[in-house]
């Protein structure tokens, strides 16, 4: 049975114990936002959303990565897995956590399903004011450092190449971001490079799959097709073209 809700209720009556979860597709936020499992969210969104809401978004992001078309979750199992107990109702810990997701526009009710963002937007000014002063200053510095006008093209190019190489070796986007940070890339720039590399990696895989000989050979000759992966010099040139500033009109 699927859980029903009103615009003001976080949870349905306790007798209904399942929740349909779908991805909230937002082209703008998905382009500039941050994975709920990223260091940016852990550092800056966590103090705003609270630990329970942050962990719920992380868990749902992992589920939606595995089942992008949506899935149905057992509420009791999910609540217990997050340490939020077994009680249901408008004042139960899990109900308050779900309501907080909706209140902060990280999720929204759609008929019988909960649509959840797969990427969280950068903090707005009103949210930044809720952070400790030290985190506000750190956020300002990292955001400024990630701007194209202040980061050298060489550093961004280097980060994107490293991120793409890690994806080629089988790492996922979250692991790539963490590795870039271990290599002293600022978190905002590490997230940007990981996001770019994930899109580029997916584009290359699609291009290779759609190639007439992409399955590994020619139907007429039996010869293997040449690889579609560009050389390092070609990759550098492609990236430099994308990040080069446009001439004034």
Tens of pLDDT, residue by residue over 99-128, are 999 999 999 999 889 999 999 999 988 999
Given a contact cutoff of 8 angstroms between Cβ atoms, the answer to whether 116 and 24 are in contact is yes
State CA 238 to chain mean position distance. 24
Tens of pLDDT, residue by residue over 153-168, are 778 888 898 999 999 8
Tokens of 168: 């080629």
pLDDT at position 232 is 45
Given a contact cutoff of 8 angstroms between Cβ atoms, the answer to whether 4 and 16 are in contact is yes
Q: In angstroms, rounded to a whole number, what is the distance separating the alpha carbons of residues 146 and 100? A: 30
Q: How many angstroms separate the Cα of 174 from the Cα of each of 48, 69, 86, 170?
A: 21, 21, 31, 12
Can you say whether residue 114 is alpha, beta or left, with left for phi > 0 and alpha for psi between -120 and 50 degrees? beta
Tokens of 105: 């526009």
Tokens of 74: 């057992």
Tens of pLDDT, residue by residue over 10-28, are 444 334 588 899 999 887 7
Tens of pLDDT, residue by residue over 177-220, are 999 988 888 888 888 899 999 998 888 888 777 655 444 443 33
Q: In angstroms, rounded to a whole number, what is the distance separating the alpha carbons of residues 81 and 52? A: 11
Averaged over 133-148, what is the pLDDT?
83
Q: What is the pTM of this model?
A: 0.57
Q: How many Cα neighbours within 13 Å face the side chain of 217?
A: 5
Q: In angstroms, rounded to a whole number, what is the distance separating the alpha carbons of residues 195 and 176? A: 9
């Amino acid at each position: 049975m699927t859980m029903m809700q009103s615009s003001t209720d976080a949870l349905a009556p306790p007798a209904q114990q399942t929740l349909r979860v779908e991805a909230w597709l937002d082209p703008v936020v998905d382009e500039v936002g941050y994975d709920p499992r990223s260091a940016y969210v852990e550092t800056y969104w966590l103090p705003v959303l609270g630990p329970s809401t942050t962990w719920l978004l992380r868990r749902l992001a992992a589920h939606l990565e595995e089942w992008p078309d949506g899935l149905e979750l057992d509420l009791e199992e999910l609540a217990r897995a997050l340490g939020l107990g077994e009680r249901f109702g408008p004042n139960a810990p899990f109900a308050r956590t779900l309501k907080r997701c909706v209140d902060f526009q990280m999720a929204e009710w759609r008929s019988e399903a909960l649509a959840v963002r797969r990427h969280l937007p950068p903090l707005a000014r009103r949210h930044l004011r809720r952070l400790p002063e030290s985190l506000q200053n750190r956020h300002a510095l990292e955001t400024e450092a990630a701007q194209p006008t202040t980061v050298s093209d060489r550093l961004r190019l280097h980060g994107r190449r490293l991120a793409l190489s890690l994806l080629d070796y089988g790492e996922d986007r979250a692991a790539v971001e963490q590795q870039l940070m271990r290599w002293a890339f600022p978190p905002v720039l590490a997230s940007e490079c990981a996001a770019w590399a994930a899109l580029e990696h997916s584009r290359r895989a699609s291009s290779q799959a759609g190639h007439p000989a992409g399955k590994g050979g020619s139907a007429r000759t039996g010869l293997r097709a040449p690889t579609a992966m560009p050389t390092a010099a070609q990759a550098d040139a492609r990236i430099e073209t994308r990040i080069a500033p446009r001439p004034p009109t």
